[in-house]
């Protein structure tokens, strides 16, 4: 048992950076105005809101009017998928949605609801054994009546990273809007929308040391979208509701740190992750890495262990002082294999024994060593 608890679940959430918190605090108390109010308190809040929007736009490589603040990455996904498909159906009768079978549920369940309740046609693209989409496969399946293509940038469960720019170019040439869920990607991969050539991109602050409860949807100017949340005219009429100014300030501050420190963070976590993967696969029989070995997030290690109960393993690791996840954090407690592991073709006796270990800016070689020393005995015990 470790003497100190070790957090290895940075893909689930990250601690709020102290510098980000410091920038947020005044907007809870002294600068508390509603940005829609005309008086000086409101003007102060509105100025802070628009400064944050400009800051985020500069970091993403877009214009401020293309930045929509939301409550989280899941809401951004919902707005992107539902808002785009509804508008495409209205404008050009497009009712076909293409998406990957390894999407976050914020995308996949939104598509499923559109199919069930609104008569859309949802089609999942085939993935390779690493959970990746081939651009040529997308080109074969895209249709004139495709309303939207949504493909995850970096998979939350197995860490694989899709060739987003190439996929976006296929959609651009076909005249179909392309959305990517980049919630897991922002800490370590480029989120410059001009480089990626995406039409919509979802982000959530708590994955890169910002606060929970705030997200962004990038919407390329001129691409159609209807609001899901109606009321006031906030966020250019695309998302009604009084803006959460302290959290928006936190989003902008955290994204700036993510972009400026991206290379340093990658250099820190990559060797630790590679050491962790190598030691786990060497020490434990009937173990396999899930996701691509190199086309993956630099902080992300994910495994399956044959004939092991993944949830029981999580509990034993927690008792031993290690916080990890079984695939997606949203899957904890489920007795069924995850959609992602099923989609990449894993048999049930493998897929039920999944483990996700994700590193962060505070991870140390000592923590990785302690984890890799403790894990083999726990897996053997459960078998």
pLDDT digits (tens, 9 = 90+) for 365-378: 999 999 999 999 99
At residue 2, the pLDDT reads 46
34: pLDDT strictly greater than 80: yes
136: pLDDT strictly greater than 80: yes
Mean pLDDT of 116-122: 96
State percent of the chain over pLDDT 70.
97
At residue 72, the pLDDT reads 97
- CA–CA gap between residue 92 and residue 208 (Å, rounded): 38
Closest listed residue to residue 277, CA positions, set 265, 264, 293: 293
At residue 3, the pLDDT reads 59
289: pLDDT strictly greater than 60: yes
14: pLDDT strictly greater than 80: yes
Q: Are 211 and 194 in contact (CB under 8 A)?
A: no
What is 6-15+262-382's CATH number? Answer: 3.90.1150.10
At residue 31, the pLDDT reads 93
Q: What is the pLDDT of residues 332-352, one digit of tens each?
A: 555 688 999 999 999 999 999
Mean pLDDT estimate for the chain: 95
302 DSSP β-pair partners = 356
Mean pLDDT of 109-115: 97
52: pLDDT strictly greater than 90: yes
At residue 1, the pLDDT reads 47
Greatest Cα pair distance in the chain? 67
What is 18-260's CATH number? Answer: 3.40.640.10
At residue 4, the pLDDT reads 82
72 noted as active-site residue: no
7: pLDDT strictly greater than 60: yes
pLDDT band at 326 (very low <50, low <70, confident <90, very high): confident
pLDDT band at 92 (very low <50, low <70, confident <90, very high): very high
Q: The tokens of 374 are what?
A: 């403790």
Say which of 72, 171, 324, 330 is annotated catalytic: 330
187: pLDDT strictly greater than 50: yes
- CA–CA gap between residue 182 and residue 155 (Å, rounded): 9
Q: Are 64 and 57 in contact (CB under 8 A)?
A: yes
Residue 307 is given by DSSP the state T
Mean pLDDT of 202-217: 98
User: Residue 231 burial by CB count (10 A; 0-12/13-18/19+): exposed, middle or buried?
Assistant: exposed
At residue 336, the pLDDT reads 81
Per domain, the residue ranges of the chain are 6-15+262-382, 18-260
């Amino acid at each position: 048992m470790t003497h100190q608890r070790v957090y290895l679940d940075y893909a689930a959430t990250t601690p709020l950076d102290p510098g980000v918190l410091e920038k947020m605090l005044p907007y809870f108390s002294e600068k508390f105005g509603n940005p829609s109010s005309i008086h000086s308190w409101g003007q102060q809040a509105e100025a802070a809101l628009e400064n944050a929007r400009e800051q985020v736009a500069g970091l993403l490589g877009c214009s401020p009017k293309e930045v929509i603040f939301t409550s989280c990455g899941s809401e951004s996904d919902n707005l992107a998928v539902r808002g785009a498909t509804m508008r495409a159906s209205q404008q050009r009768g497009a009712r076909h949605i293409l998406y990957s079978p390894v999407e976050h549920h914020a995308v996949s369940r939104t598509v499923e609801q559109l199919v069930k309740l609104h008569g859309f046609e949802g089609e999942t693209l085939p993935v390779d054994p690493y959970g990746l989409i081939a651009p040529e496969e997308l080109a074969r399946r895209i249709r004139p009546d495709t309303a939207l293509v949504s493909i995850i940038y970096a998979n939350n469960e197995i860490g694989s990273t899709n060739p987003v720019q190439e996929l976006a170019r296929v959609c651009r040439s076909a005249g179909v809007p392309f959305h990517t869920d980049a919630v897991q990607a922002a800490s370590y991969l480029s989120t410059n929308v001009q480089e990626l050539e995406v039409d919509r991109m979802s982000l959530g602050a708590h994955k890169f040391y910002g606060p929970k409860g705030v997200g962004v949807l990038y919407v390329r100017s001129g691409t159609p979208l209807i609001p899901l949340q109606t009321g006031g005219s906030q966020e250019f009429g695309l998302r009604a509701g009084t803006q959460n100014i302290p959290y928006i300030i936190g989003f902008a501050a955290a994204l700036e740190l993510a972009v400026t420190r991206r290379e340093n963070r990658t250099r820190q976590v990559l060797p630790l992750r590679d050491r962790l993967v190598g030691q786990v696969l060497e020490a434990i029989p009937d173990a396999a890495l899930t996701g691509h070995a190199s086309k993956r997030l630099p902080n992300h290690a994910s495994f399956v262990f044959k004939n092991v109960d993944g949830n029981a393993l999580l509990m034993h690791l927690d008792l031993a002082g290690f916080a990890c996840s079984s695939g997606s954090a949203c899957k904890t407690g489920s007795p069924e294999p995850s959609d992602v592991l099923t989609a990449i073709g894993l048999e049930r006796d493998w897929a039920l024994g999944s483990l996700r270990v994700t590193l962060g800016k505070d991870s140390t070689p000592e923590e990785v060593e302690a984890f890799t020393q403790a894990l083999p005995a726990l897996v053997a015990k459960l078998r």
